[in-house]
Amino acid sequence: MALSESQIPPDAQHYLVCGTEDCEKNCQFYCNDCHQQMCKQCRDEHQKNKKTKNHEVVPYKQRKRPLPLEKCKIHPTRNIELLCEECQIPICSKCTGTKEHRGHAFTDLELVFAGKCSHCHIEITKIRSYFEPTSQDLKKEIARDVTEIKKSMEGVRTSMKTEAESVKKLVETITSDKIEQVNKIEQSLLETLNGQNKKIDDYINYLNDLIKTFYGYLSPSNIEQLTFALKSENLVIRPIPETSKPVPPIFTAGPYSKDDVAKLLGRITFPNTKPENREIKPMETAFTQLKPTGKQRKQDREKSDVKQTLSLSSSVTKVREYTVPGVDCVYHISLGKSGRFWFSDYDGNLVQTDLQGNQLQKIQTSGELEGYHTVTQDGDLIYTDKVNTVINRITPDNTITEFIKTGDWQPLSIYSSKINGDLLVGMRKNGEGKVTRYNKTGTEIQNIQINNKGQELYELPHYITENINGDVCVSDYRQEAVEVVDKSGQHRFSYTGQESWFRPYGICTDVLGHILVCDETSDTIHLLDQNGQFLYLLLTSQQGVEYPCSVCVDDENNLWVGQDDTNTVTVYKYLQ
């Protein structure tokens, strides 16, 4: 029995089947008049029927949503189905005959509802593809500005300290010179005082000698001599020598203040420039990072033309088989340049071949059951080393370098974005998982670990890819789910398969935004749309698929499938 529109869960993981009674085929079309899901065969019969041949039947994605059933408040037995254009209120058909609405124009409410739903979808698309990513880009730009401001202000502080040290040294030099000047003044004054002191000493000695002379004249036997001596001018006492009191210098403090010192040490000013508003890219150019070259524009036009003409084929056709030398099985496939591929097996053998099956390179790695290698936009091979917790790069000249160290986290899966060249890496530590985004230079720019409810998103993210809208799609073996987040890291949906036991392995996307994932337990490859809605099983064991582990879509939109028990890769055509 087909699910009704109201029963479709938000995550869109149900199996869409035809709504015709006793028909359980895949739903591909929708009758907007009957509001019925249809398979291709039932659509053909529907359009042949005389009663329904003029009905509008469209692809399911282009369906008009049915009008929700709601009773009229005036006529409770009638459903609301019209919109009064003049009053702008929903009414039932019986309301059209009342005096309140007599002479008014009415519109089918279902058409209005369909238009509103279409508008909502358009607005949701705008928010997800432009407004939210652009806002996240602004947050990143602000974070970069925070780093730059901190760096700039640290430079200002360093300059101020350097200038202060320079002034301090200058003050010490000048102070030393002035102290030396004071020392010389002191020495000169002391020399003067010492001279005066010696002059007084000499005078005191003169007085002592004179006292002795006078005592000699006091003897009675020398009265005549005393009389003669008293008449002599030599006995006149000389006056005390004159001395002067020295005048010491006075230190006058410099006429400075805190402001004077502040001026001396420079000042902090803002340049005479108004802050510029951050650039917000127009919606039509929001995802254009670089101006495309003529060659790039041509390639983009070609891809756009291909995308417009491509659609899912009604059947899957095997194109050819491809034997990979140097590996026992194929657990992961990476598309390189010039028609070259990289293949890996359980034992860590990583082999590059051309389309003729010639082995070009072989590397021994620590990889096992993971999508641990990818090729960048420049043609470099990037692969993880979970033992040494590093990510290695191999340039076209075969130089191997350690590109990124991941610390305590084991890097398991890796994917090079075709949109901007970022590296998406699935990692694991102590039973927890996360996805880290690095830019082209190896700088960590994002970590994705928690969903919107604060729960751990991943446990073993062993395969990873990116969709055309920037969604990050992770195959988690332990969670038994495909976890998809948008490019800002917000959880979009989880896909848990169609049976009770779902063990996802290799995962990839195509030019139409489909998600293709291997389920090794059921020997199938599941095909989902961009929003996680299960479309159908693209390949099953009835088509010869056993233990599928790896998938990759090449530049010709062919699907390459690698398996666990053989080194033969099978190539299929599933788009037309």
* Per-residue pLDDT tens digits of the chain, which is 576 residues long: 444 444 443 444 445 788 888 888 888 888 988 888 999 899 989 989 988 988 888 887 777 777 888 999 999 999 999 999 889 999 999 999 898 998 898 888 887 887 787 778 778 877 877 888 888 889 988 999 999 899 989 988 998 898 889 889 988 999 999 999 999 999 999 999 999 999 999 999 999 988 888 787 776 565 666 666 666 556 678 899 999 998 888 888 887 778 877 777 777 777 777 788 888 777 654 433 334 445 444 555 555 555 556 788 878 899 999 899 999 999 999 998 878 899 999 899 999 998 888 899 999 999 988 999 999 988 899 999 999 999 999 977 788 899 999 999 999 999 999 988 899 999 999 889 999 999 988 989 899 998 877 788 999 999 999 999 899 999 998 889 999 999 888 899 999 998 778 899 999 999 999 999 999 888 999 999 999 999 889 998 888 888 999 999 998 899 999 998 899 999 999 988
Structure tokens that stand for 299 in this block? 């390639």
- Provide the pLDDT for residue 296: 47
Is 496 exposed, middle or buried (CB count within 10 Å of its CB: 0-12, 13-18, 19+)?
middle
Structure tokens that stand for 317 in this block? 């056709």
Run of H or E including 360:
strand 359-364
Residue type present at position 403: F
pTM recorded for the entire structure: 0.51
Cβ partners under 8 Å of residue 309, min gap 6 = none
Which residues on adjacent β-strands are paired with residue 317? 573
- Provide the pLDDT for residue 90: 92
Phi first, then psi: what are they for 44, rounded to 5°?
-60, -40
- Provide the pLDDT for residue 9: 39
Handedness of CA 526, 529, 534, 535 (dihedral sign): negative
Nearest Cα to Cα of residue 254 among 354, 184, 174 = 174
Placement of tokens 């970022």 in the chain: 422
CA distance 558 to 155: 56
Which residues on adjacent β-strands are paired with residue 17? 26
Where b means 16+ CB within 10 Å and e means fewer, 298-318 reads eeeeeeeeebeeeebeeebee
CA distance 307 to 285: 20
Nearest Cα to Cα of residue 261 among 389, 167, 346 = 167
Give the distance from CA 220 to its chain's centroid.
126
- Provide the pLDDT for residue 283: 61
CA distance 341 to 355: 8
Cβ partners under 8 Å of residue 25, min gap 6 = 17, 18, 39, 40, 41, 42
Structure tokens that stand for 365 in this block? 């790695």
Nearest Cα to Cα of residue 109 among 101, 117, 98, 121 = 117
- Provide the pLDDT for residue 228: 64
- Provide the pLDDT for residue 192: 92
First to last CA, the chain: 30
Where b means 16+ CB within 10 Å and e means fewer, 107-133 reads eebbeebbeeeeeeeeeeeeebbbeeb
- Provide the pLDDT for residue 220: 58
CA distance 415 to 425: 7
CA distance 508 to 474: 10
CA distances 226 to 208, 223, 237, 362, 518, Å, are 18, 5, 16, 137, 147
- Provide the pLDDT for residue 12: 42
Per DSSP, 456 falls in state B
CA distance 197 to 521: 118
Contact predicate 397/407, CB 8 Å? no
CA distance 367 to 383: 9
Cβ partners under 8 Å of residue 58, min gap 6 = 29, 30, 32
Strand order in the sheet with 89-91: 89-91, 82-84, 106-108
Cβ partners under 8 Å of residue 94, min gap 6 = 72, 74, 75, 78
- Provide the pLDDT for residue 365: 92
Residue 453 CB neighbours (<10 A): 6
Handedness of CA 360, 366, 367, 372 (dihedral sign): negative
Cβ partners under 8 Å of residue 310, min gap 6 = 511, 512, 557, 575, 576
- Provide the pLDDT for residue 356: 82
Tell me how many helices (H) and strands (E) the chain has.
6, 30
CA distance 278 to 250: 63
